[in-house]
Amino acid sequence: MADLLRLLLRVAEKAANVARVCRQEAPLFQLLVQEKTGDDKNKKFVQDFKTLADVVIQEMIRHDVGAQFPEMIGFIHGEESNKFENGLGESVTVTVCVTEEQTAALLASVLDSDDTAASLLARAIHQDPATIETGTEGLSVPLSPSELGIWIDPIDATSQYIDGREEVLEEGHLSPSGLHCALVLIGVYLRSTGEPVMGVINQPFNYKDPAGGGWTGKHFWGVSCGGVNSCSISRPKDRPDGSKGGGGLSVVLSSSEKQVVKEALVPLCGPDKLMYASGAGYKILCVIQGLADVYVLSEGSTFKWDSCAPHALLRALGGGVVDLTKCLQSGAGTDGHRAELVYHQPHTESQGADRWANQGGLVAYLDCTLLHSVIGGLKGKL
Ligand code: 2IP
Ligand code: CA
C-alpha cells in the first residue's frame, strides 16, 4: 500500500494548491474574507464560502482515492457534509465531476452563478499538482485497501487560514499563529481496531518567496503498521539544553485551555516552556518536529479528523496520542496502549460532529516517560 501513501501525498498537494488559489485569486479571496464581517455575512448562499472551499477539497480527495481504490469508497470520511443549499433554496450535492467544465457548472449553482469564482475553483481542482519528492522509494506497507478507512480534515485551523497572517518561521521554534498553522490532514486507520496506520500532513503556507510572493508548502508522512515504522522526518534528538532530564518539559496548549491545567503544568515545565499555538493539527505537528515535548488538551474539542493523520506520524516515531481522561482514571498511572485514541467507532449517544469527538481530551507525546510525568502532574487536579 505504498501506492496509497503516494496517492495521498499527491492529493494533499492538490488540496494545498486549492487552498493557496482561494487566497491568491481575488474573486475567491473576496468570498473568503467576506465571512469575517458579521453584518456583511455572505447573503448569497446559506453556508459560507469557507465551508464550500473545505467541502471542495474534501470531495476532491474522496474522488481521487475512490477512483484508484474502489474498495475504500464508503470508508472515506471528512469533517464536512457535501450537501449545500443555494440562494434559490435548491439543494446541491457538491462532487468532483468528470470534466472541469462540469465541475465549474456545479459550483456555479452553489455560488449563485458567480461563474468566474466557479471556474477558478474548478481549474484548481482538476489541475495536476506539481511533482513532489516523496522519499517513499523502496517502502513496502503490509496493508490492503479493504481493511482501511480514511479521515480527512480539508483545512485544519480555518480561522488562521482566513485571517492570513504571514509569519517568518524560525528554525527550531514554534510560531503560535498565522497561515502556517493551516494544514491539510489525511489519516488512514484500520477498520478492525481503529489504529491509525498512515498519515499525510501538508502545510500549504510553509515558505513565502520574498521575490515573487508565492507560497511553497511542505509535506510530512508516516506509516506505522505490522512492524513497519517509517516517517518522512526523523525522531528529534534530546534537546541540547537537557530538558528531557532535569530542565523541565515543554508543553503546547490551546490558548483557550483551562487555568487549572496551566497551573498544574507550570511546576513540570522549564521557564517559558508553557507555549500556546493555534490548530489542533499544528500542535501535534509541533510535537512531531520536537518543538514541544507534549500537547495537552483537557476538553473534547478536537475530532477524529483533527488527530488521525498526525497521530500516525507520532506512532511511526515511537510516540502516540492518548485519551487524557482515560489516563487520569486508570489506577496504575498510564496504560498507554489502552488509552491510545482509536478512529473506527462513533460515540453513539452523541449527535452530529460530537459522535466523532475526542471526548476525553488528549495528550500527544513522543516520549513515554514525558507522558507519564504529565499524567502524574495532572492527576487529581482536574
Ligand atoms: C479546529 C482548529 C482549532 C482547534 C480545534 C479544531 O479545527 O484546529 O484551531 O482549536 O480544536 O477542531 P485550538 O486552536 O484552540 O486548539 P477547524 O479549524 O478544522 O475547525
Ligand atoms: Ca479541524
* Known active-site residue 306: yes
Q: How far is CA 277 from the centre of its chain?
A: 14
Distance of alpha carbon 307 from alpha carbon 312, whole angstroms: 9
Inform me whether the pLDDT recorded for 43 exceeds 50. Answer: no
> Which carries the bigger pLDDT value, residue 13 or residue 170?
13
Inform me whether the pLDDT recorded for 364 exceeds 90. Answer: yes
Q: How far is CA 84 from CA 75, 87, 90, 224, in A?
A: 21, 10, 8, 37
Q: Give the three cell numbers for residue 98.
A: 468528470
Report how far ligand 1's centroid is from the alpha carbon of 326 (Å): 22
Distance of alpha carbon 250 from alpha carbon 293, whole angstroms: 5
pTM metric for this prediction: 0.93
- Substitution candidate for ligand 1 out of 306, 321, 356, 362 with most atoms within 8 A of CB: 306
pLDDT computed for residue 228 by the predictor: 95
* Nearest by Cα to 342 from 304, 382, 295: 304
Per the residue annotation, which of 156, 195, 293, 323 is the catalytic one?
156
* Known active-site residue 153: yes
Rounded to an integer, the average pLDDT of 295-318 is 97
Rounded to an integer, the average pLDDT of 276-304 is 97
Inform me whether the pLDDT recorded for 4 exceeds 70. Answer: yes
* Ligand 1 atom, smallest distance to 161 CA: 18
pLDDT tens-place string over residues 110-163: 888 889 989 999 999 999 888 888 889 888 888 999 999 999 999 999 999 988
pLDDT computed for residue 184 by the predictor: 97
Phi, psi of 303 (to 5 degrees): -130, 170
* Nearest by Cα to 221 from 135, 132, 307: 135
> Which carries the bigger pLDDT value, residue 338 or residue 374?
374
* Known active-site residue 156: yes
| CA dihedral sign of residues 266, 267, 273, 279 | negative
Pocket of ligand 1 (CB under 6 A): 153, 156-158, 254, 256, 278-280, 301-303, 306
Helix (H) or strand (E) holding 189: strand 183-190
Inform me whether the pLDDT recorded for 14 exceeds 90. Answer: yes
pLDDT computed for residue 133 by the predictor: 87
Per the residue annotation, which of 152, 155, 288, 375 is the catalytic one?
155
Distance of alpha carbon 308 from alpha carbon 99, whole angstroms: 31
Distance of alpha carbon 295 from alpha carbon 327, whole angstroms: 14
pLDDT computed for residue 47 by the predictor: 57
Rounded to an integer, the average pLDDT of 354-377 is 96
Inform me whether the pLDDT recorded for 96 exceeds 70. Answer: yes
pLDDT computed for residue 322 by the predictor: 97
Inform me whether the pLDDT recorded for 190 exceeds 50. Answer: yes
Listing DSSP states for 259-282 in one string gives HHHHHHHGGGEEEEEEEE-S-HHH
Residue 235 bridge partners (DSSP): none
pLDDT computed for residue 246 by the predictor: 52
